[in-house]
C-alpha cells in the first residue's frame, strides 16, 4: 500500500500488480532517460524499463515504440544459488520510496535465510545534471555470517510491449576499471545504442564476470557478517545515435569512468542542487491543505522528470518516459495540457516543444497529402519523424481479439490547430517572435492551409463547415461541426492574421519572402473569405452548445445505464459498436474544454449551463478530462465543486486507479497531461491567474481549506513570486 508524506511517497507492496504500479509511481527521470521505479532484481514481467527519449524502433509489423535500453543498474543477490527477490516468501520487510523533491529512489528489503537476516538498502538517481548518467548506491549487510553473491551489470532481458528492438550486440570489458560496455543497434534503422557501467566497492569482495544471452555482469562473492556493511557504487551511462553524432560506445565508457572518478556523493550533491534550482522556479506552495500540496508537488515532479532540457528540439510523450505505452508518442497533450505550466515557469521548454513541431513539419505535410489535403496535418501520435504512429486499428476487441477500426489518426484534425494555439500562446506570453522565423510561422501557415483544404462550403447554409471529424471526445467518431474543433480551427485563421501583422511590422521582408516561397497569397485571400462565413456553433435557448450536429438526438441515458451494458470491463466504449457511441455519454471534456480555452467569449451563465449539462454525461475516461471541468467550474464561480475534480487530477499517478486498458491494449503509465492539468487548476483555476496583454492578474477563488498559494512565474524574463489569498494577491520580484 502506498503512503504519501511531505516529499516522500512509499509503497511496501510485492505483488506483480504492485510492481507494475510502482514502476510508474516511483519512477525517476531527467528528460532523456526514464527509469521505472522497479526493484533492481525485477523480473521482465514487472516491466522494468530504461526508456530513451527520442529513440524509436519497429519490430516486424508491430507498433513502433520507444526503445527500452539494457539496464546497467541491474543487481540481484543470491544465497546458495537462491535469489533474494522482493517478492520472495523469505522477505521480512520491504519498502520502496521516492523522494520527489530530489528524484531519489530508494528501497530497503530484509530477507531471512537459514535464520540469518540479510538487508539491502539501495538508492539510485537518474542524474538531472548529466542526463546520460544513472547512479546507484547498493549497501548489503547481515546479522550473522553468510556468503552472499551479487550479480550486477548490464541486463538485456528487458520487457518490450512490441519488441525486441535491439540486435548486433557487442560487449567490451575493461577489467582494470571494472567496466562493462554493451553496444547494440536498433533493428529498424540501425541506430547505435551503448550502455556502460562500472562499480566502486569498498571492502573485501571477490569479483568474477559472467556473460550470457541475458547480458554482461560482474559477480561478487561477499563474506557478510554482523557489523560489516558492503557498499557498492554503480555508475552507468547510456547514449544513442538519436542524441549524439559521436561514437556512443566511447561516450558511454567516458561517462561511466568520469562518474567513477567523481564519486556518488559529489554526483548526488550536484543532482540535488539542480533540483533545488528547478523547484525555485517551479514550486507551488498551498497552505491549509497538506494532501493537495503533496499531490500537486508530486505532479510537478513528474513534469520535471520528463522535461527535455538537454535537447533544443524535443517534446514529451503522453505517458512521459514511463514506458512504451501509447507508442511513446507525442499527442496534443503537450500543447494543451503540459505547455501552460512550463510557459509560466520555464518558457524555454515550450520553445523546445515548438521546435519539435517545426522539425516534424515535413511528416505533417506528408500526412496531409496522404489524405488528399494540402498543408500540414500533424500526427495524432507523433514520434521522431512526425509521421503518424497511430494505427488505423488502435484498440483491440476484447471478445474476438480482433483489431477495431478507429479514426483517431484520420479524423482528429484539431491536432494541427492545437499546435497553432500553443505557438500563439507562447508568443503572447514571451513576446519571442524569433521562433516564428525559426519555422513556427511556416507551421502556422501550413496548418491554416490544411484546414482551408479540409473545410466544406455548405450552399444551403451559406457557410463553411468542418465535416467528418473526431473531437476530443473520441467515443463519437466522424461527426460534423464539432464545436471545439470549429472554434479552435477558426483561431488558426485568427493567428495567421495576428502573426502576419506582427511580422510585417517587425520584418516585412521575411513574411513577404515566406509567402512567396509557400505561394500563400491565394490561400490568404481565401482565408479572409472563409473567416466571414465560418460556422461556430452557438448556445441553444438553454445556453447549452451542442457538441456536434445532431448530438442532442442521440439516446440521452445515464452513465450508469451505459456502464450496465458492458459485457466486459475492458470493453472499448467508442467506435461503431461501443456502448457510448449512440448515446450522449462522452469520454472527456469537449465543449467544456472549448469554454475554458475561449472563456472570455462566453458568459458565466453559459459556462454553468454547459457544465451542468455535460458533466453527468461525461465518463472522464481520459486523464485529460477532470481538470477542464475543474477549471470551468472555478471560472464560473464554484471552486468547491471544482475541488474533487482537482484532486482526481493531482492524485492520478499516486493512486494508480486510472484506466489501465483500452479495449485490451495496455495504456498504463504516468499521466503528464493530468500533471499539467493539476497545475492549471490550482494556479489558473483556483488562483484565477492569467498573463495576458502585457499584464499579470489573479482573481482568487480558493477552495475553503486553502489559506494561501504561492507560486513563481517568468514574465518578460523576470522571476516573479505570486502570493494569492482569499482576499487578494501580491507580486514580488525574486
Ligand atoms: O491525447 C489523449 C486523448 O485525448 C485521449 N486518449 C489518450 C490520449 C493520450 O493521453
Mutate to test the pocket of ligand 1, among 323, 622, 667 (most ligand atoms within 8 A of CB): 622
Residue 456's pLDDT is what? 98
Mutate to test the pocket of ligand 1, among 331, 649, 676 (most ligand atoms within 8 A of CB): 331
Ligand 1, closest atom to CA 622? 5
Q: Which residue's CA is minimally distant from atom 5 of ligand 1?
A: 622
- Annotated catalytic residue, options 65, 381, 474, 546: 474
Q: How far away, in angstroms, is 332 Cα from ligand 1 center?
A: 8
Residue 347's pLDDT is what? 97
Mean pLDDT per segment of 10 residues, for the chain of length 734 residues?
Answer: 94 92 97 98 94 97 97 97 95 98 98 96 98 98 96 94 95 90 97 97 84 92 93 98 95 98 98 98 98 98 98 98 96 98 97 98 98 98 97 92 95 98 96 97 98 98 98 98 98 98 94 98 98 98 98 98 95 92 98 97 98 98 97 97 98 89 80 98 98 87 97 92 97 90
Q: How far away, in angstroms, is 348 Cα from ligand 1 center?
A: 25
| 3-class secondary-structure state, position 8 | strand
Mutate to test the pocket of ligand 1, among 332, 333, 415 (most ligand atoms within 8 A of CB): 333
Q: How far away, in angstroms, is 476 Cα from ligand 1 center?
A: 14
Strand (E) or helix (H) holding 640: helix 639-650
Q: Which residue's CA is minimally distant from atom 7 of ligand 1?
A: 622
Per the structure block, which three cell numbers stand in for 279? 523547484
Q: What is the 3-state secondary structure (H, E, C) of 205-269?
A: EEEEEEEECCEEEEEEEEEECCCCEEEEEEEEEEEECCCCCCCHHHHHHHHHHHHHHHCHHHHHH
Residue 666's pLDDT is what? 80
Residues with a CB atom less than 6 Å from ligand 1: 318, 326, 331-333, 472, 474, 622, 624, 673
CATH fold of the domain at 283-733:
Glycosyltransferase (1.50.10)
Ligand 1, closest atom to CA 662? 6
Mutate to test the pocket of ligand 1, among 406, 418, 474 (most ligand atoms within 8 A of CB): 474
Nearest to 301 by CA among 286, 279, 285, 325: 279
Residue 667's pLDDT is what? 82
Nearest to 434 by CA among 376, 502, 518: 502
Nearest to 619 by CA among 536, 557, 577: 557
Q: Give CA 586 to chain center in angstroms.
A: 23
Query: CA-CA distance, 276 to 649, in Å (whole number)?
Result: 25
Q: How far away, in angstroms, is 588 Cα from ligand 1 center?
A: 9
Q: How far away, in angstroms, is 274 Cα from ligand 1 center?
A: 31
Ligand 1, closest atom to CA 319? 10
Phi, psi dihedrals of residue 538, rounded to the nearest 5°: -110, 160
Ligand 1, closest atom to CA 408? 3
Q: How far away, in angstroms, is 563 Cα from ligand 1 center?
A: 21
Q: How far away, in angstroms, is 360 Cα from ligand 1 center?
A: 20
Could you tell me which residues come within 8 angstroms of residue 230 by beta carbon, excluding any fewer than 6 positions away? 139, 140, 141, 201, 202, 203, 205, 222, 224
Strand (E) or helix (H) holding 55: strand 50-57
Ligand 1, closest atom to CA 624? 4
Nearest to 653 by CA among 300, 135, 276, 240: 300
Predicted TM-score of the model (pTM): 0.97
Q: How far away, in angstroms, is 443 Cα from ligand 1 center?
A: 22
Per the structure block, which three cell numbers stand in for 208? 568474477
Q: Which residue's CA is minimally distant from atom 4 of ligand 1?
A: 472
Sign of dihedral through CA atoms 481, 487, 493, 496? negative
Per the structure block, which three cell numbers stand in for 577? 459498436
The Cα-based distances of 136 to 27, 98, 202, 323 in angstroms read 14, 14, 14, 21
The Cα-based distances of 143 to 29, 113, 225 in angstroms read 35, 11, 6
Q: How far away, in angstroms, is 391 Cα from ligand 1 center?
A: 14
Per the structure block, which three cell numbers stand in for 620? 472522464
Domain boundaries, the chain: 42-278, 283-733
Ligand 1, closest atom to CA 472? 4
Ligand 1, closest atom to CA 333? 1
Nearest to 31 by CA among 425, 250, 342, 423: 342
Nearest to 173 by CA among 219, 211, 136: 211
Mutate to test the pocket of ligand 1, among 673, 674, 676 (most ligand atoms within 8 A of CB): 673
Residue 297's pLDDT is what? 98
Ligand 1, closest atom to CA 587? 5
Q: How far away, in angstroms, is 488 Cα from ligand 1 center?
A: 18
Pick 42-278's CATH classification: 3.30.465.10, 3.70.10.10, 2.70.98.40, 1.10.1520.10: 2.70.98.40
The two beta strands, 284-287 and 146-155, are unpaired
Q: Which residue's CA is minimally distant from atom 10 of ligand 1?
A: 318
Residue 508's pLDDT is what? 87
Hey, do 42-278 and 283-733 end up sharing a CATH topology, with the first three levels equal?
Answer: no
In the block, residue with C-alpha cell 520510496: 97
474 labelled catalytic: yes
Q: Which residue's CA is minimally distant from atom 9 of ligand 1?
A: 318
Amino acid at each position: 500500500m502506498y503512503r504519501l508524506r511531505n516529499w516522500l511517497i512509499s509503497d511496501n507492496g510485492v505483488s506483480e500488480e504492485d510492481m507494475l504500479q510502482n514502476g510508474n509511481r516511483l519512477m525517476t527521470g531527467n528528460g532523456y532517460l526514464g527509469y521505472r521505479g522497479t526493484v533492481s532484481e525485477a523480473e521482465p514481467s514487472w516491466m522494468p524499463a530504461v526508456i530513451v527519449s527520442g529513440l524509436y524502433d519497429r519490430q516486424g509489423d508491430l507498433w513502433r515504440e520507444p526503445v527500452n535500453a539494457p539496464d546497467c543498474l541491474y543487481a540481484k543477490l543470491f544465497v546458495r544459488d537462491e535469489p533474494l527477490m522482493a517478492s520472495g516468501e523469505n522477505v521480512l520487510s520491504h519498502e520502496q520510496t521516492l523522494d520527489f523533491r530530489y528524484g531519489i529512489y530508494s528501497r530497503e528489503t530484509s530477507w531471512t535465510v537459514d535464520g540469518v537476516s540479510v538487508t539491502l538498502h539501495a538508492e539510485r538517481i537518474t542524474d538531472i545534471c548529466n542526463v546520460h548518467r544513472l547512479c546507484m548506491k547498493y549497501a548489503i549487510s547481515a546479522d550473522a555470517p553468510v556468503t552472499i553473491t551479487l550479480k550486477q551489470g548490464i541486463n538485456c532481458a528487458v520487457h518490450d510491449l512490441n519488441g525486441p528492438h535491439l540486435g548486433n550486440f557487442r560487449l567490451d570489458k575493461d577489467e582494470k576499471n571494472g567496466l562493462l560496455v554493451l553496444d547494440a543497434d536498433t533493428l529498424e534503422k540501425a541506430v547505435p545504442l551503448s550502455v556502460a557501467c562500472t562499480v566502486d566497492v569498498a571492502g573485501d569482495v571477490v569479483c568474477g564476470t559472467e556473460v550470457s544471452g541475458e547480458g554482461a555482469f560482474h559477480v561478487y562473492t561477499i563474506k557478510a557478517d554482523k557489523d560489516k556493511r558492503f557498499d557498492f557504487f554503480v555508475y552507468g551511462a547510456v547514449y544513442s545515435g538519436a542524441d549524439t553524432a559521436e561514437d556512443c560506445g566511447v561516450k558511454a565508457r567516458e561517462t561511466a569512468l568520469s562518474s567513477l572518478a567523481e564519486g556518488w556523493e559529489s554526483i548526488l550533491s550536484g543532482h540535488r542542487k539542480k533540483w533545488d534550482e528547478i523547484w525555485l522556479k517551479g514550486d507551488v506552495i498551498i497552505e491549509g491543505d497538506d494532501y493537495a500540496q503533496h499531490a500537486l508537488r508530486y505532479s510537478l515532479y513528474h513534469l520535471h522528470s520528463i522535461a527535455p532540457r538537454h535537447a533544443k528540439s524535443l517534446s514529451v510523450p503522453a505517458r512521459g518516459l514511463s514506458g512504451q505505452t501509447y507508442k511513446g508518442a507525442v499527442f496534443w497533450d503537450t500543447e494543451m495540457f503540459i505547455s501552460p505550466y512550463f510557459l509560466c515557469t520555464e518558457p524555454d521548454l515550450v520553445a523546445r516543444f515548438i521546435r519539435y513541431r517545426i522539425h516534424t513539419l515535413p511528416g505533417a505535410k506528408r500526412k496531409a497529402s496522404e489524405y488528399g489535403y494540402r498543408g500540414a496535418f500533424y500526427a495524432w501520435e507523433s514520434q521522431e519523424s512526425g509521421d503518424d504512429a497511430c494505427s488505423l486499428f488502435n484498440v483491440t476487441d476484447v471478445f474476438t481479439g480482433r483489431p477495431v477500426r478507429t479514426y483517431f489518426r484520420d479524423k482528429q484534425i484539431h491536432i494541427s490547430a492545437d499546435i497553432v494555439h500553443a505557438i500563439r500562446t507562447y508568443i503572447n506570453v514571451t513576446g519571442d517572435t524569433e521562433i516564428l522565423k525559426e519555422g513556427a510561422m511556416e507551421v502556422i501557415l501550413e496548418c491554416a492551409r490544411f484546414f482551408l483544404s479540409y473545410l466544406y462550403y455548405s450552399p444551403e447554409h451559406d457557410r463553411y463547415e468542418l465535416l467528418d471529424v473526431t473531437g476530443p471526445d473520441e467515443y463519437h467518431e466522424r461527426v460534423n461541426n464539432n464545436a471545439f474543433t470549429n472554434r479552435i480551427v477558426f483561431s488558426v485563421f485568427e493567428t495567421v492574421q495576428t502573426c502576419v501583422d506582427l511580422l510585417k511590422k517587425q520584418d516585412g521582408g521575411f513574411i513577404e519572402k515566406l509567402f512567396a516561397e509557400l505561394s500563400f497569397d491565394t490561400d490568404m485571400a481565401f482565408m479572409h473569405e472563409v473567416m466571414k462565413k465560418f460556422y461556430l456553433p452557438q448556445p441553444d435557448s438553454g445556453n447549452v452548445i451542442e457538441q456536434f450536429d445532431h448530438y442532442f438526438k442521440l439516446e440521452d441515458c445515464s452513465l450508469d445505464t451505459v456502464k450496465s451494458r458492458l459485457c466486459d470491463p475492458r470493453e472499448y466504449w467508442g467506435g461503431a459498436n461501443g456502448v457510448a457511441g449512440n448515446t450522449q455519454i462522452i469520454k472527456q471534456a469537449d465543449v467544456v474544454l472549448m469554454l475554458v480555452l475561449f472563456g472570455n467569449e462566453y458568459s458565466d451563465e453559459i459556462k454553468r449551463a454547459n457544465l451542468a449539462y455535460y458533466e453527468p454525461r461525461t465518463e472522464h475516461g481520459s486523464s485529460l478530462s477532470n481538470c477542464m471541468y475543474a477549471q470551468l467550474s472555478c471560472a464560473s464561480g464554484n471552486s468547491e465543486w471544482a475541488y474533487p475534480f482537482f484532486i482526481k487530477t493531482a492524485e492520478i499517478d499516486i493512486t494508480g486507479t486510472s484506466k489501465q486498458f483500452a479495449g485490451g491494449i495496455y495504456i498504463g503509465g504516468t499521466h503528464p497531461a493530468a500533471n499539467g492539468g493539476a497545475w492549471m487548476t490550482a494556479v489558473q483555476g483556483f488562483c484565477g491567474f492569467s498573463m495576458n496583454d502585457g499584464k499579470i492578474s489573479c482573481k482568487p477563488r480558493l477552495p475553503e481549506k486553502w489559506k494561501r498559494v504561492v507560486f513563481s512565474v517568468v514574465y518578460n524574463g523576470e522571476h516573479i513570486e505570486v502570493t494569492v489569498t482569499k482576499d487578494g494577491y501580491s507580486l514580488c520580484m525574486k
